[in-house]
Structure 1
Amino acid sequence: MSVVATSHHGPALIAAAARTARAAPAGAGVEFRLLGPVAVHDGAGGRDITPPGSKQRALLASFVTQAGVLLGVDRLAAELWDGAPPANAANALQAHVARLRRLLPEAGGDGHEWIRTLPTGYLLDLGKARTDVQRFARRSREGRAALAANPARAAELLCSAVELWRGPALQGCRTGPICEAEAERLDEMRLTSLEALHEANLRCERHGESIGELERLTADHPLRERFYDLLMVALYRSGRQTEALGVYERARRRLVGALGIEPGPALRGRLDAILAHSPALSAAPAPALLEELDRLRHRVTELGRVQHELSRRIDAVTAPES
């Protein structure tokens, strides 16, 4: 005999559970992931779902990239078949959508469905689900906003943003125009976040820790001047001026060889500052550190006052009577 049958509370518990399930926000606990291989994380089921076919992955990536936007059949067909869809593209697309629907986790909520079919196409409704792109963008934005006032906090936020990446954006799904444009946008956001991260590290006097990673970034992105700039500062602050000057020459050779242009004014200005041993190249104390030092100075002053008062009282108590 089952537990439910032997307990008079059973029906009430089942009804309450059903009401809770119905009240659960549609899509809660689900995260669509584009920062690497395209996948869906089902928090309730504790599993990651990766569509097995390349076209289903591209279809999912297109839906997530354009969540809440109606995507017409022709546009999706061009995305999946690289601009050369088959004659029966509408039927083939319908079959791919049906397979994708079966892969997605239960959405929860009353009647919510992830992919809605409309007269002229399809639309992904995220409900309360989130995306790793949203998390990355929020952390990156908050980190860059904190850079001037609190570089240590900025570095923490930016590091956590970059760590969300599991590989190239929309990995394996970058052939169609929708996914390619989104991948390029996300790649640029990642590089901007990395630049801000290493600037925060330099403001926190972590120049020695940054050199190796900045060397790799200049090799991976040889035309991005900001990484050379940061590397030159890190080397100079580590007492390696000659190597810092060599980084400028390396950047110049690459830019002239690939684009036929000289380094921009920011990098040229950095070269001049290093040659002149500009005081501006020294690591400035972080604002948070200055605030802490000011607080400690006030505390030392207060302790001195208290000590003086205690000494006066002790002297008054121990002084011989006249």
Structure 2
Amino acid sequence: MKFRILGPVQIFDERTGVLIVPAGAKQRALLSALVVKAGQVVSADRLVDELWSEHPPANAANALQAHVARLRRLLPVPAPGSGEPHHEWLATSPLGYVLRLGDAGTDARQFHRLAAEGRELARTDPGRSADVLRRALELWRGPALQGSGRGTICSVEASLLEESRLVALESLYDACLRAGRAGEITGELEELTAAHPLRERFYELLMTALYRCGRQAEALRVYDRARRRLVHDLGVEPGPVLRDRMEAILHHQDPTAALPVGSTAVRPVRAPAGEDGANVRLLHAELASLRSHVERLTREQQDLVCRLEALTAARAAGA
């Protein structure tokens, strides 16, 4: 048996291939909350809050008991004569209810185990690390706990799981770069920077992948796009890691950005063999323009800092 919460909540019987999906929103919210807190007693009051939030019915305790009874009927029981021991999935205690997984697992636990294994392999075997991390991410069928309501238990767990998914994606693409697979991931990283435009790590990984593919000008344009979005949405400049990566790519100085793991020297990105002189001059002109633009932005940033310090000092003097 496997309880699935990386997407809409489901119960999958791996022996029979039967998929059990709660029909109503309250049933989904109840099962989701109990899976998230599996092995722990969840109080009736907390489950009422999870299912109805600030608007519980007048007979909330009876309504909750009815939903628990329906969920019990939904959970599988051994067929008569199968010889399998009976397992009480959903138990009642004086303090509330507890879901007992027994030998069953959850896709979330499997994801965390595979993600940790993939990260552990990153330094010694980045290719295998990337493969394991992809297996972990393939467990996702949609947003975590999709359709399970907005109760505190489910909403907090969904946020934590989503952050874990994004961290696993960052680890995956870092492993791909270490394994020399830059050309395979630029498209995926482009999509991620569009889907998560304020997450600087995805921009950094995309810039590195483009640079390793000999696309320095595009890598620098990614930095410019990231900076404009951060300034527009948050009013902040890119952090030091992203700025350092831009500087390294601009000046061909960072061996981590320039070469896959195992390389021993830094080589400037050159135009492909046989490319005509006009294209080479165009590339050099574009790089010079980008370099000038970056330098101008740096001067503007320094000027803003000076003006802010002067304004702060003037206010302090006036006080």
Check whether TM > 0.5. Answer: yes
- Could you give the per-residue CA deviations for residues 2-25 of structure 1, whole angstroms, max 9, x where no partner exists? xxxxxxxxxxxxxxxxxxxxxxxx
- Which of 175, 194, 215 is 2:190 aligned to? 215
Q: Unaligned stretches of 5+ in structure 2?
A: 264-319
Alignment of structure 1 residues 26-41 onto 2, 5 Å: 30-41=1-12
- Which of 284, 301, 307 is 2:260 aligned to? 284
- Which of 191, 205, 216 is 2:166 aligned to? 191
Normalised to the residue count of structure 2, the TM-score between the two structures is 0.78
- Which of 165, 178, 182 is 2:157 aligned to? 182
Query: Residue in 2 aligned with 1:232?
Result: 207
- Could you give the per-residue CA deviations for residues 56-97 of structure 1, whole angstroms, max 9, x where no partner exists? 011000000000111111100000012321111110000001
Contact preservation (8 Å) 2:77, 2:86: no
Query: Residue in 2 aligned with 1:51?
Result: 22
Count of aligned pairs: 258
Distance (whole Å) between structure 1 residues aligned to residue 13 and residue 77 of structure 2:
9
Distance (whole Å) between structure 2 residues aligned to residue 180 and residue 230 of structure 1:
29
Per the TM alignment, residue 279 of structure 1 is displaced from its structure 2 partner at its CA by 4.6
Contact preservation (8 Å) 2:249, 2:258: no
Does the alignment pair 1:167 with 2:167?
A: no
Distance (whole Å) between structure 2 residues aligned to residue 277 and residue 213 of structure 1:
24
SS at match of 1:56: helix
Contact preservation (8 Å) 2:25, 2:148: yes
The one-letter code of the counterpart of 1:189 is S
SS at match of 1:48: strand
Distance (whole Å) between structure 2 residues aligned to residue 162 and residue 174 of structure 1:
23
Query: Residue in 1 aligned with 2:218?
Result: 243
Query: CA 1:264/1:39 → structure 2, altered by over 3 Å: closer, same or farther?
Result: same
Contact preservation (8 Å) 1:204, 1:286: no
Does the alignment pair 1:71 with 2:46?
A: no
- Could you give the per-residue CA deviations for residues 262-289 of structure 1, whole angstroms, max 9, x where no partner exists? 10010000011011112512223459xx
Does the alignment pair 1:84 with 2:61?
A: no
Range with bigger deviation, 216-225 or 165-174? 165-174
Moved over 6 A (4+): none
The one-letter code of the counterpart of 1:257 is H
The one-letter code of the counterpart of 1:67 is A
Contact preservation (8 Å) 1:198, 1:210: yes
Q: What is the CA RMSD across the aligned residues, in angstroms?
A: 1.4
SS at match of 1:106: coil
Query: CA 1:87/1:270 → structure 2, altered by over 3 Å: closer, same or farther?
Result: same
Per the TM alignment, residue 174 of structure 1 is displaced from its structure 2 partner at its CA by 4.1
Contact preservation (8 Å) 2:193, 2:203: yes
Query: Residue in 2 aligned with 1:114?
Result: 89
Query: Residue in 2 aligned with 1:136?
Result: 111
SS at match of 2:33: helix
Query: Residue in 2 aligned with 1:105?
Result: 76
Range with bigger deviation, 49-58 or 79-88? 79-88
Distance (whole Å) between structure 1 residues aligned to residue 106 and residue 62 of structure 2:
29
The one-letter code of the counterpart of 1:283 is L
Per the TM alignment, residue 112 of structure 1 is displaced from its structure 2 partner at its CA by 2.5
Per the TM alignment, residue 111 of structure 1 is displaced from its structure 2 partner at its CA by 4.7
Does the alignment pair 1:125 with 2:100?
A: yes
The one-letter code of the counterpart of 1:176 is G
- Could you give the per-residue CA deviations for residues 223-267 of structure 1, whole angstroms, max 9, x where no partner exists? 100000000001111111111111001111111111111100100
- Could you give the per-residue CA deviations for residues 281-310 of structure 1, whole angstroms, max 9, x where no partner exists? 2223459xxxxxxxxxxxxxxxxxxxxxxx
Percent identity of equivalent pairs: 58
Normalised to the residue count of structure 1, the TM-score between the two structures is 0.78
SS at match of 2:97: strand
- Radius of gyration: which is bigger? 1
Per the TM alignment, residue 117 of structure 1 is displaced from its structure 2 partner at its CA by 0.8
Distance (whole Å) between structure 1 residues aligned to residue 240 and residue 254 of structure 2:
19
Per the TM alignment, residue 109 of structure 1 is displaced from its structure 2 partner at its CA by 5.8
